[in-house]
Chain A
């Protein structure tokens, strides 16, 4: 099964690489969220620069901004530093959700018929769908990280951020992506039209994203929303990646336990979504 999965994944990635029109919108979305959302919605910009016509001293302003970043945004050097992990998660979610369009097109254009009459395990079709979307999303995730570094007053890393922290952050995001890819690939294999896929994806996307701490800390959420956010896998991936990106070495910041817990939670998420997705996909790929 491995070779067939690899062959089909390779096919999808070749198509992707040869069609830059499918890559640039993803990058634009990442840059848009970081540059515009990161600046326009930056809560530290809400601090007034004067009071009763008297300018607030720059040192006091800087102190107030630092206090907000420390208390609300986990000690991030800038709001974009805080936001980066969330935006990467967001890019991954979007790519997973809409990555299924290629699979629906394959079905509509008859390519599935060719695959289903070939002597390959059905699981290879499912897993190639899962892996192709994961690779695409992770590539865009890494580019988002680079864009965040390049933006002025953007992502500022601590000196203790190294290769292990980078790999750890992308392991968390990768596990989130893998779990979501299992879910959305199964959905894409089950629907017959792109309209149906988009309707389902939009229905799932908004609550998944906004009921997480991807864009804002869940500590400020009402109780019920915080309870949902705390079990949302996006929050778990975001929390682990954010700790590693903002604080660097998690042992030094005393948050190794939180990161490990989040990673284990995400492994469980992948196992559950993988099994569920496989069962749904197997049903969807049965003979008519």
Chain B
């Protein structure tokens, strides 16, 4: 039995100031109860898409339905059922952790008694129960992110939008956040729509993902489906000086694609074990020296590379600017 669609976007388009097309006629859906990952390079249109779905940005063209409500015609209805955890750390520094949660509860019309109970439960979930009475300005970056997540959940939303929820966190805290999100999804049935820069995060958490680039969705599906689409394993072989053997490699049965960078060949093949003997034999019979040989099972990073033409690691390097900006913003408070 398939779950009903809780988010449906049809030809969703956003043009800023009549000039900059941030999102270009994208269509996708999110099933109720799933964790949906939205991946893409910087400036691909991820945050703009989230902003359109959570009513922060107007829709230039197309349509978006969230929990059966048209985002343009009934934004108030949409706000009733969503929780948003933005990229920025927006919890109030001068307020205590618990005060931030109770303020958010009040703004979402959660009854007072219920709000206190829910706040306590959430603080426990994100391991902040011992810091609840401390002002947020004394929190570390990881604690702030966890509090931010709790704030987004205080009113028990049906859908939670997470924009880079683990940005800038160390690996331990990031892993902990994944645990919280999985637990929320499983125990409370909350649908999660998230953007992330960490492909291992999308791989481990998301039931389906979409990769967006230049404002358009390039590919979507479950992580395993997308990896399968790559055509199996990737064998990388680096040779000593010699002639180009691309044509020879392409001629080997089971090899689906070969790309060459210098003397390094990147070979796509369904099963490395089957084609490897023929490749090695062909190379050695041509008198070429094998300097290095390695093979990898497909990863989301390779899917990303395949689809966008760049690795997410390159993106991470570019991301340092925004991390720095966040740091500056935090210091400004």
Chain B window 85-96, contacts with chain A (Cβ cutoff 8 Å), 1 for yes, 0 for no: 011111010110
Q: Whole-angstrom distance from the CB of A264 to the nearest CB of chain B?
A: 37
Q: Does A11 contact B (CB under 8 A)?
A: yes
Contact A119/B333 with A14-B95, A287-B55 known, Cβ cut-off 8 Å:
no
B56 near A287 (CB under 8 angstroms)?
A: yes
Contact A287/B58 with A108-B329, A113-B90, A114-B86 known, Cβ cut-off 8 Å:
yes
A109 near B90 (CB under 8 angstroms)?
A: yes
A15 near B109 (CB under 8 angstroms)?
A: no
Contact A3/B106 with A113-B56, A117-B84, A119-B80 known, Cβ cut-off 8 Å:
yes
Q: Which residue of the partner chain A has the closest CB to B53?
A: A117
How far is B78's CA from A118's CA once the two chains are assembled, in angstroms?
Answer: 9
Residue from B54, B84, B89, B95 within 8 A of A15 (CB atoms): B95
Q: Does B104 contact A (CB under 8 A)?
A: yes
How far is B92's CA from A115's CA once the two chains are assembled, in angstroms?
Answer: 12
Q: Whole-angstrom distance from the CB of A3 to the nearest CB of chain B?
A: 7
Q: Does A275 contact B (CB under 8 A)?
A: no
Which residues of chain B in 88-124 are interfacial with respect to chain A, using CB atoms and an 8 Å cutoff? Answer: 88-90, 92, 94-95, 99, 103-104, 106-109
How far is B89's CA from A4's CA once the two chains are assembled, in angstroms?
Answer: 22
Q: Does B276 contact A (CB under 8 A)?
A: no
Chain A hits for B16, CB < 8 A = 288
Residue from A7, A15, A113 within 8 A of B94 (CB atoms): A15
Residue from B57, B92, B107 within 8 A of A288 (CB atoms): B57
Q: Which residue of the partner chain B has the closest CB to A113?
A: B86
A7 near B107 (CB under 8 angstroms)?
A: yes
How far is B94's CA from A19's CA once the two chains are assembled, in angstroms?
Answer: 8
Chain A window 95-120, contacts with chain B (Cβ cutoff 8 Å), 1 for yes, 0 for no: 00000000001001111011111111
How far is B137's CA from A18's CA once the two chains are assembled, in angstroms?
Answer: 12
A117 near B90 (CB under 8 angstroms)?
A: no
B90 near A118 (CB under 8 angstroms)?
A: no
Q: Whole-angstrom distance from the CB of A137 to the nearest CB of chain B?
A: 20
A111 near B55 (CB under 8 angstroms)?
A: no
Chain A hits for B90, CB < 8 A = 109-111, 113-114
Q: Whole-angstrom distance from the CB of A40 to the nearest CB of chain B?
A: 37
Q: Whole-angstrom distance from the CB of A123 to the nearest CB of chain B?
A: 13
Q: Whole-angstrom distance from the CB of A113 to the nearest CB of chain B?
A: 5
Chain A hits for B88, CB < 8 A = 109-110, 113
Contact A110/B94 with A117-B82, A118-B79 known, Cβ cut-off 8 Å:
no
Q: Which residue of the partner chain B has the closest CB to A286?
A: B58
Contact A287/B57 with A113-B88, A119-B109 known, Cβ cut-off 8 Å:
yes
A7 near B56 (CB under 8 angstroms)?
A: no
Which residues of chain A in 159-190 are interfacial with respect to chain B, using CB atoms and an 8 Å cutoff? Answer: none
Chain A hits for B92, CB < 8 A = 11, 15, 111
Subset of 22 A-B contacts with CB under 8 Å: A4-B106, A8-B107, A14-B94, A14-B95, A14-B99, A15-B92, A18-B94, A109-B332, A110-B86, A110-B88, A111-B92, A113-B90, A114-B84, A114-B151, A119-B79, A119-B107, A119-B109, A287-B51, A287-B58, A287-B75, A288-B16, A288-B57
Known: A11-B103, A109-B333. 9 other contacts (CB 8 A): A15-B92, A105-B333, A110-B90, A111-B90, A113-B56, A114-B90, A117-B56, A119-B109, A288-B16
* Residues in chain B within 8 A of chain A (CB atoms): 16, 51, 54-58, 75-76, 79-80, 82, 84, 86-90, 92, 94-95, 99, 103-104, 106-109, 135, 151, 329, 332-333
* Residues in chain A within 8 A of chain B (CB atoms): 3-4, 7-8, 11, 14-15, 18-19, 105, 108-111, 113-120, 286-288
